[in-house]
C-alpha cells in the first residue's frame, strides 16, 4: 500500500516565506512605485496602505507559522518564520512610534495652510 507523501509546500512553509519576503516587497513598492505616483494623492495613499498591509500580514503569518511548527515540524519553517516575525515586528513598532510625530506634522501643516489663507485674504 502506497501512502501519500507530505505536500512539498505546506501552508506554514508558505506563511514563513511570505513573512520573510513581505518587508522586501513593501520596501520595493516604496522605492520603485512611490516615486512614479508622487503628487497623485489617492495613488500614494493606496500604495502606502498596501505597504502597511504587507508588513502587518507578514507579522501575522510569521506568528501563525511559528505556532504551526508544533504540528508540521521546524524544518524549513522555523528560521524563516522567526526572521520574518522579528523584522515585521520591528517595522510595526517603528510605524506605531511614528504616529505621534506624523499627527504633529499634520497639525503644523494645517496651521500653516490656515495662516497662508488668512494672509491671502488681507
Of the pLDDT bands very low, low, confident and very high (cuts 50, 70, 90), residue 75 is: confident
CB 84 within 8 A of CB 16: yes
What is this structure's pTM? 0.75
Assess whether pLDDT exceeds 90 at residue 122.
no
Of the pLDDT bands very low, low, confident and very high (cuts 50, 70, 90), residue 68 is: confident
CB 12 within 8 A of CB 59: no
| pLDDT tens digits, 6-47 | 555 588 899 999 999 999 999 999 899 888 888 888 998 899
> Which grid cell sits at 87?
523584522
How much is the average pLDDT of 59-83?
88
- For residues 55, 56, 57 and 58, what is the CA-based torsion angle, rounded to 10 degrees? 50
86 vs 95: CA distance, rounded Å? 14
Chain position carrying cell 502606502? 48
How much is the average pLDDT of 43-61?
92
- How much is the pLDDT for 3? 46
29 vs 53: CA distance, rounded Å? 12
23 vs 65: CA distance, rounded Å? 16
- How much is the pLDDT for 6? 53
Amino acid at each position: 500500500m502506497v501512502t501519500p507523501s507530505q505536500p512539498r509546500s505546506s501552508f506554514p512553509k508558505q506563511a514563513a516565506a511570505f513573512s520573510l519576503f513581505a518587508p522586501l516587497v513593501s520596501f520595493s513598492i516604496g522605492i520603485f512605485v512611490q516615486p512614479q505616483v508622487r503628487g497623485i494623492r489617492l495613488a500614494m495613499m493606496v500604495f502606502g496602505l498596501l505597504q502597511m498591509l504587507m508588513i502587518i500580514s507578514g507579522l501575522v503569518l510569521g506568528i501563525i507559522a511559528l505556532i504551526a511548527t508544533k504540528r508540521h515540524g521546524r524544518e524549513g519553517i522555523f528560521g524563516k518564520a522567526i526572521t520574518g516575525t522579528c523584522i515585521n515586528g520591528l517595522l510595526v513598532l517603528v510605524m506605531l512610534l511614528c504616529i505621534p510625530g506624523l499627527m504633529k506634522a499634520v497639525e503644523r501643516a494645517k496651521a500653516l495652510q490656515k495662516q497662508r489663507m488668512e494672509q491671502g485674504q488681507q
